[in-house]
Chains A and B, each alone.
Chain A
Amino acid sequence: MRVPLSWLREYVDLPATETGRDVQAKLISAGLEVETVEQLGADLKGPLVVGKVLTIEELEGFKKPIRFCTVDVGQANGTGEPQEIVCGARNFVVGDKVVVVLPGAVLPGNFAIAARKTYGKTSHGMICSGGELGMGDDGSGGIIVLPPEHEVGTDAIELLELVDEVLDIAVTPDRGYALSMRGVAREAAIAYGLPLRDPALLDVPGPNAFGYPVQVSDPRGCDRFTARTVTGLSPEAHSPIWLQRRLQKAGMRPISLAVDITNYVMLELGQPLHAYDRSRVQGTIGVRRAEPGEKLTTLDGVVRTLDAEDLLITDDRGPIGLAGVMGGANTEIDDTEGTTTEVVIEAAHFDPISIARTARRHKLASEASKRFERGVDPEAASAAAQRTVDLLVLLAGGSADAGVTEVIAPSAPRTITIPANHPDKVAGVDYGRETVVRRLQQVGCDVYGQDELIVTVPSWRPDLTDPNDLAEEVIRLEGYENLPSTLPKPPAGLGLTDRQRLHRRVGRALAGAGYVEALNYPFIGTEVLDQFGLEADDPRRTTVKLVNPLSDEEPAMRTTLLPGLLGALRRNDGRGSHDLALFETGLVFRPTGEEHTAERLPVDRRPTDEEIAGINAALPRQPRRAAVVLAGAREQAGWWGKGRPADWADAVEAARTVAREAGVELTVRSDQHAPWHPGRCAALYVTVHGEETLVGHAGELHPRVIKALHLPERSCAMEVELDLLEQAGTGALQAPRISAFPVATQDVALVVSRDVPATDVEAALREGAGKLLESIRLFDVYESEQLGEGMKSLAYALRFRADDRTLTVDQASRARDAAVALAGERTGAVLRG
């Protein structure tokens, strides 16, 4: 809502010294979001005067038509002689009154005017267009032609009200009344403690039987319909300057007098109005719901197929308007031919929800629908109709028809009962009853009662429905800025949950290991899943899909963190960072296949546990995962020696790093799983509730995937499910016992078939060595011709120690032999000679 300060002053006697910024501060404090204060004509300087065109000489030989004019500007130029001016506009004739800017003036945009030679003549000033004066460009490209009654030499800055301030207010959805000068003026009056001249307080004749016939068939959709008729409109009548200027400053374009007046009254009182050309309406005006499939061409020329819920204005032929949203083209006021001489004025009140749905359904948000949705004062309808009639009589020479139609569905004003100290309890401030009552009365409430207040809310505040709404009115008018600052005392909390702590630790551990966190969008498409080489029945292809994705290429939610993370890897690589280690922790979205529609539960009570479980079951599983991707060098080359490229082992180690934070030992097995390299893919398992459970994969990516996704060669990746790791956690660690006896070290080198996993050999050694084994470490792996085709050597360092004695060499050797024997039995390992 754009509010010109000059217009606002018509309803409230604001101190003359108050600037737009001052008023802005007051209104913001009262809860109107005044976003900007526009300074109109702030840098404008005269002389700018009314002139009368005396002669026009068409200049030939230029690319565009140019006129050399003489203009009578009275004594404004100091001489009284005609002013010689060159002009490129053509929408004027000799005798027209125009706006002339004289040398020495400055137009908006710091445009200084001086006499200058142009098109072979000297132009002593300019004939102005609206755009040049900062009035808003009407798009015509023409200059302003004033009504003839204005005297030459009159100051046009004042005449055109060029200097003003305009407050631009973003009105919140609850404050429909602030979409009017009347509503903003009421707030300004309260904020300044001044009386309000309410423009809706008009003498309105009562309804009678000879008004224009109206039939409301849906009183729930339309609880009030006022119709007035004005006849004898002068087709030549045009909107006066003051009216046009107020509309322009409020952000609307002047169109024709009748339309301008209805817009003006809407801005003034907040009541949307519609003017029908009476000669084009046939019979009774009706209000009803549409028949499904019925059609209406609205004023914007669009043919709209109607829904059974759409509320319509009709005449005997059918629909003539989409009630409260937009009129029909068939009864439009004729603003080009100027043939409309009789109009029927509609001032009605429609159900906000019905209007909101219709506007949304037809994607048609109009000034009218915007107001009806947010709540229009139903009691202002007849005043608005009267105001429209008055202006048509005054400005268009019309006569008010004596007939007054009012169809009103009976309704009672809303009352709310609150304890007188309710606002005090909400605010934490002792305002006292007197203040509470005074503030509520200021916003228009009737208040009765002592300890219990019975509050009748004004018709223009349909948003006031609950006790807290009234508390807000009191608190905002007393000033949010005056609220004290106190701290509540929450009961002692338990800190973070295990899951939250794990999430943080994993982030720190991975960052500590050199990984940089990336937070990627979770949107994916089938293309990346194809590039990953997923089988048709891969569960990662079962996605949560969006109705309205930002991109049709990525309409689904991620089922794995890798697409986003690999995208970030490629982006970084493309930007010149080639040695990369990235991680992400976040949710993936895995439909259960059991999803059904999530019910709209009631809101007037707590849903039952079954109901809550029901809507939760409508949601996909959303486990939290951690993933890393690697490319380039894991260790840089430098003065210390060679670097080392990132490889599959780094990816597996990242998984171990994550698992370690969860206090869980990972079991690693080789696997073949897209998008990993089939020979370099590790499946990762943990024990959850006694069962071995797959928690993720790690390794080098499949060369085909790397190629398809344009990733760096040998890129690696790891992804694990954090929630499973958390469940696998074994609780408090049992502290180890530290033996003070010396260690006995034994090394063994075992030859096994190349395809025996090292982890199996180690497990056998561990078991075979028994409880004397303190630790085991694989320190070398190699293959050679001497070992034989398909064989490899694994060298282990075994450390033995007893809790209660020093081990002899024999005892350590016996344990070692037992270890080797079991490894031989389990894996075919042979001790190297």
Chain B
Amino acid sequence: MSAPNKSYDPVEVEALKPEEIERMRDEALAAFAAAGDLDALQEAKVAHTGGTSPLALANREIGALPPHAKADAGKRVGQARGAVNKALAARQTELEAERDARVLVEEAVDVTLPYDRVPAGARHPLTTMMERVSDVFVSMGYEIAEGPEVEAEWFNFDALNFTPDHPARQMQDTFFVQGAKGADSDGESGVVLRTHTSPVQARALLDREPPVYVVCPGRVYRTDELDATHTPVFHQIELLAVDEGLTMADLKGTLDHMVQSLFGADMKTRLRPNYFPFTEPSAEMDMLCYVCKGESVGNPDRSCRTCSSEGWIELGGCGMVNPRVLIACGVDPEKYSGFAFGFGIERMLMFRHNVEDMRDMVEGDVRFTRPFGMEI
């Protein structure tokens, strides 16, 4: 930088001529506009705004001007530098945006690539179906009761009013457990694999004071060979309510509520008289076919596979708890009454999910179970 020179004539300073300053500004603007990327812009920036750029040099000359000329020249240079910096910033922003956009494009992936690094697991639909049915009642205030699968005959039969020679007792194809005498000990142990979840009713009544409201889901056993429609090991869910003043209408209402919860608001049940030792009166319960809603009956154009165009699907057995069962469990039948029902989970799974072969539910094939996921 040169020292102030009071005698210096401003007109002789070429760089500060207005046309010169305009030219420098325009050159800078043109260079920025021409910069195709951030590197080029950086070069242009150094060239046109750096310490040795024409405008910077011109600015330096201002100090050498006579006082009356300084303000004028300073204003001109200042305006020019302002315009240049603004243009630089604008171009900078523009080029950065372009670069960012380009990088994101380059980073793009095929998001449709499959990802089965650890394939999903699943719970068995029988398990989740039992939970789902149980939860309908748990939300009403019922509790879940459980009992042993290897069960005393007294609980499985006697307490439920199956007398030792009752024909119904023979209807149940019971697995008997060996006693001390080994294989020849028919009935000697007094222990069986439970043939239904009903013994849990007796246990629940012995464990609790009325009112008793329980559901009992679980595994049961009968001596059927496995085929498309039978399995020796299957699952039931049982319900028991014992309270003052319970009626068959309450049983009907509870069943209606269950099928509505599981199959939709327009569902209902139908009771038909039947016989079970542990209920009196007893009934067979059917639910309206949830597929055709009964409209397939007598209507060949609308035949229904789910209910075989019967309009109703057989669900299981139910009734008012036989007072003899209450007596055996220490509940006063003069004061309390109750209702109970039970049905097979396999059957419900078969018609609700169109399972055609019982074996699919027992073989543990992952191709069957996996699609059911975590809940049903």
Contacts and interface: CB of A to CB of B under 8 A. Distances in A.
Contacts of A634: 118
Interface residues of A, number: 112
A28 B280 contact: no
Interface residues of B, number: 109
A132 interface: no
Interface in A590-626: 595-607, 612, 615-616, 618-620, 622
Contact of A517 (B124, B151, B232): B124
A372 to B, nearest CB: 11
A754 interface: no
Given A173-B275, A545-B178, A638-B116, A493 B142 contact: yes
A519 B275 contact: no
B262 interface: no
B292 interface: no
Given A491-B211, A517-B122, A466 B273 contact: no
B241 A490 contact: yes
Contact of A597 (B117, B127, B179, B370): B179
Contacts of B355: none
Interface string B121-147: 111101100010000001011111010
Given A173-B167, A173-B171, A516-B121, A426 B131 contact: no
B85 interface: no
A576 B245 CA distance: 58
Contact of A546 (B127, B178, B213): B178
Nearest to A640: B117
Contacts of B241: 488, 490
Interface string B253-286: 1101100000000001011111100001111100
Pick from B180, B189, B270, B320 the residue with the most CB of A within 10 Å: B189
Interface string A464-496: 001111011001100011011111111111111
A425 interface: yes
A605 B330 contact: yes
Contacts of A582: 364, 366
Given A426-B337, A508-B374, A599-B154, A547 B118 contact: no
A586 B119 CA distance: 24
Given A487-B253, A520-B364, A493 B233 contact: no
A603 B115 contact: no
A373 B167 contact: yes
A672 interface: no
A655 interface: no
Interface stretch (A29-37, A105-113, A243-251, A394-402): A29-37
Nearest to A579: B119
B213 A466 contact: no
Nearest to B131: A504
A174 interface: yes
Interface stretch (B4-12, B89-97, B321-329): B321-329
Contacts of B275: 172-175
A149 to B, nearest CB: 44
Interface string A508-549: 101111111111111000000000000000000000111111
A488 B328 CA distance: 24
Contact of A636 (B119, B159, B183, B186): B119
B158 A618 contact: no
Contacts of A640: 115, 117
B365 A572 contact: yes
Interface string A632-676: 001110111001000000000000000000000000000000000
A544 B113 contact: no
Interface in B260-319: 268, 270-275, 280-284
B22 interface: no
A500 interface: yes
B236 interface: no
Main secondary structure of the interface of B (DSSP, over half): mixed
A777 interface: no
A550 B226 CA distance: 10
A513 B374 CA distance: 11
A339 interface: no
Contacts of B143: 493-495, 497
B38 interface: no
Contacts of B120: 511, 514
A638 B361 CA distance: 31
A204 interface: no
B182 to A, nearest CB: 8
Main secondary structure of the interface of A (DSSP, over half): loop
B211 A547 contact: no
A428 interface: yes
B366 A612 contact: no
B323 A468 contact: yes
B249 A485 contact: yes
Interface stretch (A257-265, A324-332, A353-361): A353-361
B42 interface: no
A449 B225 CA distance: 54
Contacts of A483: 248-249, 252, 271
Nearest to A512: B121
Contact of B152 (A589, A603, A618): A618
Contacts of B138: 493, 495-496
B96 to A, nearest CB: 33
B192 to A, nearest CB: 9
A155 B158 CA distance: 58
Given A356-B167, A487-B253, A466 B189 contact: no
B246 interface: yes
Contacts of A518: 124, 364, 369
Contacts of B150: 544, 557, 589, 619-620, 622
B250 A488 contact: yes
A483 to B, nearest CB: 5
A216 interface: no
Contacts of B185: 547
B39 interface: no
A491 B272 contact: no
B193 interface: yes
A571 B363 contact: yes
Nearest to B176: A547
B61 interface: no
B232 A490 contact: no
A33 B274 contact: yes
A599 B361 CA distance: 36
A516 B122 contact: yes
A764 interface: no
B374 to A, nearest CB: 6
B144 A514 contact: no
A492 to B, nearest CB: 6
B2 interface: no
Given A466-B280, A605-B327, A600 B119 contact: no
B366 A516 contact: yes
Contacts of A521: 232-233, 362
Interface in A230-273: none
Contact of A550 (B223, B272, B367): B223
A577 interface: yes
A572 B368 CA distance: 11
Nearest to B138: A495
A480 B117 contact: no
7 contacts: A31-B273, A426-B337, A511-B373, A547-B178, A600-B164, A604-B327, A615-B154
Given A517-B369, A546-B178, A600-B153, 16 more contacts: A33-B272, A427-B247, A481-B270, A484-B249, A488-B213, A508-B123, A512-B374, A514-B118, A520-B364, A547-B183, A547-B187, A583-B121, A597-B190, A605-B330, A634-B118, A638-B115
Interface of B: 113-124, 126-127, 131, 138, 140-144, 146, 148-155, 158-159, 161, 164-168, 170-171, 175-180, 182-183, 185-191, 193, 206, 211, 213, 219, 223, 225, 232-233, 241, 243, 245-250, 252-254, 256-257, 268, 270-275, 280-284, 320, 322-324, 327-330, 337, 361-367, 369-370, 373-374
Closest 4 CB pairs of A and B: A606-B330, A31-B273, A428-B247, A518-B364
